[in-house]
Structure 1
Amino acid sequence: MGMYASIRGWLEIDVKQRVTAEQIIEQNRHELYSGGWAFPSAPFNWSLYLFYGGDIRQGELSWLRGQVEQLAEIPPVDEDNDWPRGLFVVTAEERDGAQMWQVREATVTELPAPGLSWLGE
């Protein structure tokens, strides 16, 4: 059957970055796992929160991480110079504890998240 990982997280992007984010997701479409991405049906104000949630095979974590890295690199759209930012929590059967993918300043950093290990129970 294979080993699975659970991923839950979000990216905060500018509403003007939505089309680029949708293009990145579509260009990296996975038959099963792309359905984990969700945009609000009626966004409001200036921030748009893009969510991902799902259980995927551990062998596909690099696919999702690559997408998150591409999304993190969407250039700022105004003088505020705000890059996408967010946080994803990854729990997996063969890993000890939870991991975080922290998205800041066009970079994705993987860090241990021991305080969130209960999510994998």
Structure 2
Amino acid sequence: MYVAVRGWLEFDQEQLAQVEEVLAKYSHDPYAGGWALPSKPFNWTLYVFYGGDIRESAVSSFREQVAELARMEPVDDDLDMPVGFFLLTDERKQSTSWTVRAGGVAETLAPQELRWFAERP
């Protein structure tokens, strides 16, 4: 079974090299190509996106990548940790969400208003 994964993480712009380093550790993963970084970052927030259909058996490995990114230490006086949101929907029409904050990844049922993604034909 496949799971559609889409979401993003927010970092401080100064963490670009660290983000690239973490993602490079997983470059052997067949689903690593789903990550997208801005080609020309600007301002202070670095938004990193993911989108892809991955096998259900690979979801836990992908979550490990997200968790490692979530644990990245702050780089400025604001002490902001990475934050983000991922929506996962599967072929059984189930929806899960991952909320990234405070150095962790919390998994819950997707918010009701987003569950329609799983019901698309």
CA-to-partner distance for each residue in 1:3-27, whole Å, 9 max, x for gaps?
0000000000011111111111111
Q: What's 1:34 paired with?
A: 32
Identity of aligned pairs, percent?
Answer: 47
Task: Return the match for 2:22 from 21, 24, 34.
Answer: 24
CA-to-partner distance for each residue in 1:51-103, whole Å, 9 max, x for gaps?
00000000000111000000000000011000000000000123x53111000
Matched, 1:50 2:17: no
Task: Return the match for 2:97 from 96, 100, 110.
Answer: 100
Task: Return the match for 1:83 from 71, 76, 81.
Answer: 81
Structure-2-length-normalised TM-score: 0.92
Q: Which residues of structure 1 form unaligned runs of 5+?
A: none
Between the two proteins, the alignment pairs up a number of residues equal to 118
Q: What's 1:110 paired with?
A: 107
Letter in 1 for 2:99: Q
Identify if the C-alpha distance between structure 1 residues 110 and 32 changes in structure 2 by more than 3 Å, giving closer, same or farther. Answer: same
Structure-1-length-normalised TM-score: 0.92
